């Protein structure tokens, strides 16, 4: 949402200042220049990205425009869901959580936390982490190493999106110059049309350079920054899960495992240790 507000501020001030100085906004709308620039940007994105990256990019952009899905409430639901699960494991052993892990959509625990249950990637991460514990196939140290590797893969995968978008943003000024050069070529072919016509052609060509710079620095770069911050929040979400599960696997009680998970929550969403303890004790009282 803030990205949209930022774009509106940029658009209002740039075009408003242009109008204030006596410019006519209609003069900046040159269909040919827009086709060249936007078409080239689209072509670079398609040519530089496999389809799964393009799909992930579209999803990230949508999240940025709507607002990050990783709110404080979402992080707290994640901790509470895993705390409840580990309390069952402490009372019944790991066999007691098998049905919850194997069939999360039918789980009476996870059904209370739709923000987690509807995050299919997070659910798969939880299942991959806990199944070896239930089966007794991995030791705690092996589990820690395995989850660290998964987090590294998530970080690397997410890094592709802002990397590609940054390259496109960096290319936009050059694309604007390409549009301007093509406009100058048209101008040179119209030297007999008179000064007014030549002036219009030159102005149209300069609009290409203007649009390339504007799109790059005022629209795409802020969007890239927001996606990078969204990626950090997403990685933190999975780190919370990893910390809780690894701590439990190494022998920590559920309350301590939840506290270790709390430390991975971003500071702007992170509750205090006392608030977390009160919340989990209240949750334990309600669940019985």
DSSP SS3 for 178: helix
If pLDDT is split at 50, 70 and 90, which confidence band does 136 have? confident
If pLDDT is split at 50, 70 and 90, which confidence band does 288 have? low
If pLDDT is split at 50, 70 and 90, which confidence band does 222 have? very high
Average pLDDT along the chain: 92
Cα distance between residue 231 and residue 158, in whole Å: 6
Are the C-beta atoms of 205 and 178 separated by less than 8 Å? Answer: no
DSSP SS3 for 136: coil
User: Of 166, 75, 141, 60, nearest to 113 (Cα)?
Assistant: 75
> What does the DSSP 8-state code read for residue 279?
H
- The answer on pLDDT for 79 being more than 80 is yes
Q: Tokens 């919340």 — which residue? A: 279
Cα distance between residue 57 and residue 59, in whole Å: 5
Percent of the chain residues topping a pLDDT of 70: 100
pLDDT tens, position by position, 4-47? 999 999 999 999 999 999 988 888 888 888 899 999 999 999 99
Mean pLDDT, residues 189-198: 79
Cα distance between residue 66 and residue 246, in whole Å: 33
pLDDT of residue 107: 95
- The answer on pLDDT for 93 being more than 90 is no
Lowest mean pLDDT among 65-69, 134-138, 184-188, 203-207: 134-138
pLDDT tens, position by position, 49-74? 999 999 999 999 999 999 999 999 99
Cα distance between residue 10 and residue 15, in whole Å: 8
If pLDDT is split at 50, 70 and 90, which confidence band does 192 have? confident
Mean pLDDT, residues 179-199: 84
Are the C-beta atoms of 13 and 217 separated by less than 8 Å? Answer: no
Residues 6+ apart with CB under 8 A from 56: 157, 161
Q: Tokens 């949402």 — which residue? A: 1
Domain boundaries, the chain: 72-169+221-283
Q: What share of the chain is helix, strand, coil (3-state, %, to 5)?
A: 85, 0, 15
Cα distance between residue 252 and residue 130, in whole Å: 15
Percent of the chain residues topping a pLDDT of 90: 74
Mean pLDDT, residues 222-242: 96
- The answer on pLDDT for 194 being more than 90 is no
Cα distance between residue 70 and residue 35, in whole Å: 36
Beta strands, E only, the chain? none
If pLDDT is split at 50, 70 and 90, which confidence band does 141 have? confident
């Amino acid at each position: 949402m803030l990205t949209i507000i930022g774009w509106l501020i940029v658009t209002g001030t740039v075009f408003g200042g242009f109008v204030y100085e006596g410019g006519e906004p209609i003069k900046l709308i040159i269909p040919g220049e827009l086709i060249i620039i936007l078409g080239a940007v689209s072509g670079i994105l398609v040519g530089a990205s496999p389809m799964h990256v393009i799909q992930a990019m579209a999803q990230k952009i949508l999240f940025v425009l709507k607002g990050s899905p990783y709110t404080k409430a979402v992080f707290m639901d994640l901790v509470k869901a895993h705390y409840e699960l580990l309390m069952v494991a402490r009372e019944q052993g790991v066999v007691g959580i098998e049905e919850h892990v194997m069939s999360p959509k039918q789980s009476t625990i996870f059904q209370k936390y739709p923000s987690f249950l509807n995050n299919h990637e997070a659910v798969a991460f939880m299942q991959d982490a806990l199944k070896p514990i239930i089966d007794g196939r991995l030791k705690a140290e092996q589990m820690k190493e395995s989850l660290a590797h998964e987090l590294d893969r998530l970080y690397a995968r997410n890094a592709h999106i802002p990397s590609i978008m940054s390259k496109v943003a960096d290319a936009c000024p050059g694309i604007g110059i390409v549009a301007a050069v093509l406009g100058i070529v048209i101008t040179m072919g119209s030297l007999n049309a008179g000064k007014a016509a030549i002036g219009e052609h030159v102005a149209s060509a300069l609009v290409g350079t203007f649009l390339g710079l504007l799109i790059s620095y005022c629209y795409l770069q802020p969007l890239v920054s927001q996606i990078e911050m969204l990626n950090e929040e997403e990685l933190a979400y999975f780190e919370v899960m990893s910390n809780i599960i690894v701590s439990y696997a190494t022998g920590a009680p559920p309350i301590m495992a939840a506290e270790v998970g709390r430390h991975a929550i971003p500071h702007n969403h992170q509750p205090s240790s006392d608030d977390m303890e009160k919340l989990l004790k209240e949750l334990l009282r309600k669940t019985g």
